[in-house]
Amino acid sequence: MDPVTRRSFLIKGSAGAVGAAGLAAGGFALSSIGDTEPALSASELEELDGPVVVQITDPAAGEVAVLFGEREVTFTDKPLVARVLRTAR
């Protein structure tokens, strides 16, 4: 795994963007999660190819792993994890 901050992951363009897209596609109601992030651009959306899987690997620590392509990156975001898990309850 490549440890990264959530911000550094998100600013990588399509990879970060598809993390949020994957969550939405998974059926969660997460409209508030991306409030502080700019919406995906058309070019970023075009770059999406294949699934993105977001796994909460450590709920207590707020650790999240994002699988895309042949890679895996991790970041920590306790508020995000809390909101996701409360939504899933």
Partner 1 sequence: MSSHREAPGILKDPTADNTDVYAFVTPNNTVTIITNYVPSEAPAGGPNFYEFDDTVTYQINIDNNGNGRPDVTYEFRFETTNTNPNTFLYNTGPIDRLDSPNWNHRQSYTVTRISDGRRRTLARRVPCPPCNIGPRSTPNYSDLADAAIANLDGGGRVFCGQRADCFFADLGSVFDLATLRPFQSLHLIPTANANGVDSLAQANVHTIAIEVPIDHLTRRGRVPTDPMDSKATIGVWGAAYRQKARVRGYDYGSRNVGPWNQVSRLGNPLFNEVIVPLAQKDRWNSVGPDRDSEFAGFVAQPELARLLPVLYPGVFPNLAALTADRADLLAILLTGIPQGLIPGFQNFTGPTQADELRLNVAIPPSSRPNRLGLLGGDLAGFPNGRRVTDDVVTIELRAVAGATYPLVDPNFTPDDAVSVIEDGTFNNPGRVLLDRFPYIGLPYSGYDVPAAS
* Residue 50 near partner 1 by CB under 8 A: yes
Range 33-40, long-range pairs (CB < 8 A, 24+ positions): 33/80, 33/83, 33/84, 37/10
* Residue 51 near partner 1 by CB under 8 A: yes
* Residue 56 near partner 1 by CB under 8 A: no
* Residue 71 near partner 1 by CB under 8 A: yes
**Of 56, 67, 76, 87, the one binding partner 1 by CB under 8 A:** 67
On the CB side of 40, CA atoms within 13 Å amount to 18
On the CB side of 10, CA atoms within 13 Å amount to 16
User: Which CB, 54 or 84, lies closer to partner 1?
Assistant: 54
User: Which CB, 13 or 50, lies closer to partner 1?
Assistant: 50
User: Which CB, 1 or 82, lies closer to partner 1?
Assistant: 1
Give the Cα separation of 53 and 25 in Å (integer).
10
